[in-house]
Amino acid sequence: MSSIFLAIIIGAAFGAVLDRVGATSPNYIGKMLNLTNLHLAKAILLAIGVGSVLMFGGQMAGLVDVGHMSVKTAYMGVFIGGLLLGVGWAASGYCPGTGIAAAASGRRDALVYAAGGLVGAAAYMVTYPMWKNAGILSGEALTLGAVPGAKYDALLPGVSGDLVGILVGIALILGAFTVPDRIISKPTTAPAE
Amino acid sequence: MILNWKLGGLALGLTFFAAVLLVKPIGVSTQFVILDGILWNAVDPDVVTQNTDGAYTSTNAYLAKSGGKYAKSVASPLNYSFVFVLAMMLGAFASSFLRKGVPSNEKIMPAIWRTNYGDSTAKRFAVAFASGFAVLYGARLAGGCTSGHMMSGMMQTAISGYIFAAGAFAAAVPTALLMFRKEA
């Protein structure tokens, strides 16, 4: 029962923060992806960096249970699926989590998106054997360095996974402060031809 | 009004950390499959079944994979991951309500869409539906989405997270550059 309680608390916090950081708005997603306003990219880089430093730091200090880590398998389908997701993400301005959060916040097009998502997931359930037989779903769950106590292999087995995690986290935080507010400059009033 | 990126990013990072500290990393897209399974099983109760040894399985190969863990979630939806997503919707609703909701001119389509493609609801909804299809099909093929792979994965220095992020941005940035040329 306590896990349901935690699901409610952490889930509600996640939904509320996604909304407050602007991730439930397709305008912010669209402007991040067309490189005209990187507010969200900076927030996400900072968030992943902060999460990384706290998690790996906590694991080194013995305060965070390494068994809570859940590293997904790397295989060819991860990249292909990422490409497919990227197209729909950009066109709609929604990813799975922010899409349903946006629908809950009152966006009707997000509700339509979620319906499309249910059909897409169902289509995958039916076509899953095809991908499996194609052999692109098998691989290994790897972390960058070797994390003591974790059940995953490392890409760089000789390197401390905890230290690498903290360093990568710091790099992401610095990245958040370094990325410019926009990359594509504002169009002039009379578009140059 | 949204939080500035420093405050918003810090709050988001603390949420990721709380999740992995207390339970496990955040993920969302699997729950689309679980809801599909619940609906499917409601129409045809033979889809998810329990063996005599108590293990769950399914006539659908995807629900039955990995020892029937998805089949089990379909059979008992009151589990952490499914409730997490329902609570996420509640949190987003509450946050939106407290900031007076989504403006009326944003409810049907966002400004960035309207500026580039006009007012047609049908056009926006058609693209939203097709996008939802592509995103969830892709997320299931990849084994996770922006939350599970990109955020939680990169937080844990998972190689799969970097591969996913590379694929997602390699497609998303050119698509957005082509589709949204006019600024809202």
Residue A188's pLDDT is: 58
Residue A100's pLDDT is: 97
The domain limits of chain A are 2-178
* Chain-centroid distance, C-alpha A26: 16
Tokens at B104, concatenated: 């009326």
Could you tell me the CA-to-CA distances from A120 to A115, B36, B114 in Å, in that order? Answer: 9, 10, 25
Q: Are A121 and B36 in contact (CB under 8 A)?
A: yes
B69 touching chain A per CB within 8 A = no
**For each successive 10 residues of chain A (193 residues), what is the average pLDDT?**
91 97 96 96 98 98 96 97 98 97 97 98 97 95 96 96 98 97 76 51
B63 touching chain A per CB within 8 A = yes
The answer to whether B184 contacts A80, with C-beta atoms less than 8 Å apart, is: no
Strands (DSSP E) contained in chain A are 142-146, 153-160
The domain limits of chain B are 1-101, 105-184
CA–CA–CA angle A74, A80, A84 (5° rounding): 130
The answer to whether B85 contacts A100, with C-beta atoms less than 8 Å apart, is: yes
Residue B183's pLDDT is: 87
pLDDT by residue, tens only, chain B of 184 residues: 689 999 999 999 999 999 999 999 999 999 999 999 999 999 999 999 999 888 999 999 999 999 999 999 999 999 999 999 999 999 999 999 999 999 999 999 999 999 999 999 999 999 999 999 999 999 999 999 999 999 999 999 999 999 999 999 999 999 999 999 998 7
Secondary structure (3-state) at B183: coil
Residue B117's pLDDT is: 97
A and B: number of Cβ contacts within 8 A: 504
Q: Mutation test of the interface with chain B: which of A78, A147, A184, choosing the one with the most B Cβ atoms within 10 A? A: A78
| Nearest-CA distance A112 → chain B (Å) | 5
ipTM entry: 0.96
Residue B82's pLDDT is: 97
The answer to whether A71 contacts B156, with C-beta atoms less than 8 Å apart, is: yes
How far is residue B131's CA from residue B56's CA, in Å, rounded to a whole number? 32
> pLDDT per residue over B116-156, tens digit each?
999 999 999 999 999 999 999 999 999 999 999 999 999 99
Residue A186's pLDDT is: 77
B17: exposed, middle or buried (Cβ count in 10 Å: 0-12, 13-18, 19+): buried
The answer to whether B132 contacts A92, with C-beta atoms less than 8 Å apart, is: yes
B104 touching chain A per CB within 8 A = no
Residue A1's pLDDT is: 57
Residue A184's pLDDT is: 87
How would DSSP label each residue in B50-88?
E-TTS-EEESSHHHHHHHHHHHHHHH---SHHHHHHHHH
A130 touching chain B per CB within 8 A = no
Residue B161's pLDDT is: 98
Residue B160's pLDDT is: 98
